[in-house]
Amino acid sequence: MAMYESEHTKFMREWMEKHPQERAEQQKGRALWWDKPQSLEQQQRHREASVPVKPYYYDANH
């Protein structure tokens, strides 16, 4: 059974095959926005600063 693949996905796959040098540029962009190094101290501060979420957000009585 064939899986659905959008035209955009097909286009991007073919384009990346024709332009392999863009892989490095893609990785640089990902590193810029997503792959940020984090220390254990920073992760601990984030955990301590988080506020618990109410079970039902729109219930004003709790």
What is the tens place of the pLDDT at every residue in 5-16? 999 999 999 999
> What is the domain partition of the chain in residue ranges?
7-49
Q: What is the pTM of this model?
A: 0.46
Alpha carbon 53 to chain centroid distance? 23
Give the residue from 10, 15, 36 showing the smallest Cα distance to 25.
15
What is the tens place of the pLDDT at every residue in 21-45? 999 999 888 888 887 788 999 999 9
d(CA 54, CA 52): 7
With a cut of 70, say whether residue 53 has pLDDT above it: yes
| Residue 32 DSSP code | H
